A and B are shown apart, each in its own frame.
Chain A
Amino acid sequence: MKNKDISQMVLDRIKDTGIKPISKKIFNLKRVVVFSFIGFSIIVGAISFSVILSILTNNEWDLYNRFGVGFIFKTLPYFWFVCVLLLAILGDIYYRKTSRGHRPNTIIIVSAYIIATTVLGSMLHLIGLGDVVEESISQNIPVYHIFVFDKDEFWSNSKEGLISGRIILIKEKMLSIVDFNNNLWTINTENADILGNAKIQEGEIIKIIGDAGENNTFTAEEIRPWGQSKIHKNNFSEVVR
Chain B
Amino acid sequence: MINHEECPNKTDNELVKLSLDNPDHFLCLTRRYESKLLHYIMRLSKFRSEEASDILQDVFVKTYYNLNEFDDSLKFSSWIYRITHNQTISEIRKKSVRPSVPFEKEDIDRFEDALDISKEIDDSFDKEKINKALSLLDEKYREVLVLRFLDEKDYVEISDILKKPISTVGNLILRGKKLFKKEYEKLTYEK
- A-side interface residues toward B, CB under 8 Å? 1, 3-4, 6-11, 13-15, 19, 21-24, 26-27, 99-100, 102-106
Contact = CB atoms under 8 A, between A and B. Distances in A.
Given A99-B74, A102-B163, A102-B164, A10 B68 contact: no
Contacts of B53: 1, 6
A34 to B, nearest CB: 12
B74 A19 contact: no
Contacts of B166: 103-105
B139 interface: no
Most-contacted residue by chain B among A3, A4, A24 (CB, 10 A): A3
A158 B74 CA distance: 67
A1 B55 CA distance: 13
Nearest to B165: A105
A227 B164 CA distance: 49
Contact of A1 (B49, B67, B156, B165): B49
A26 B66 CA distance: 10
B185 interface: no
Given A14-B26, A21-B64, A21-B66, A7 B34 contact: yes
B188 interface: no
Interface residues of B, number: 35
Interface in B55-82: 56-57, 60-61, 64-69, 71, 73-74
Contact of A103 (B60, B73, B165): B165
A23 B27 CA distance: 20
Given A1-B49, A102-B159, A7 B167 contact: no
Contacts of B68: 21-24, 26-27
Interface string B33-54: 0110010000000000110010
A9 B23 contact: no
Contacts of B164: 102
23 contacts: A3-B38, A6-B38, A6-B60, A7-B30, A10-B30, A10-B60, A11-B24, A11-B30, A14-B26, A14-B61, A14-B64, A19-B61, A19-B65, A21-B68, A22-B68, A27-B68, A27-B69, A99-B74, A103-B156, A104-B165, A105-B165, A105-B167, A105-B168
Interface string B152-191: 0000100110011111100000000000000000000000
B18 interface: no
Given A11-B27, A13-B61, 15 more contacts: A8-B27, A9-B57, A10-B26, A10-B57, A11-B23, A11-B26, A11-B30, A14-B64, A22-B68, A22-B69, A99-B71, A102-B163, A102-B164, A103-B165, A104-B166
B61 A10 contact: yes
B20 A21 contact: yes
A220 B123 CA distance: 94
The 5 A-B residue pairs with the shortest CB-CB distance in the complex, in nearest-first order: A7-B30, A105-B165, A24-B68, A99-B71, A102-B163
B31 interface: yes
B17 to A, nearest CB: 11
Contacts of A6: 30, 34, 38, 53, 56-57, 60
Contacts of A102: 159-160, 163-165
B188 to A, nearest CB: 36
B31 A21 contact: no
A54 to B, nearest CB: 35
Nearest to B23: A14
Most-contacted residue by chain B among A1, A6, A100 (CB, 10 A): A6
Given A14-B26, A99-B74, A104-B166, A1 B50 contact: yes
B3 to A, nearest CB: 15
Most-contacted residue by chain B among A1, A4, A24, A104 (CB, 10 A): A1
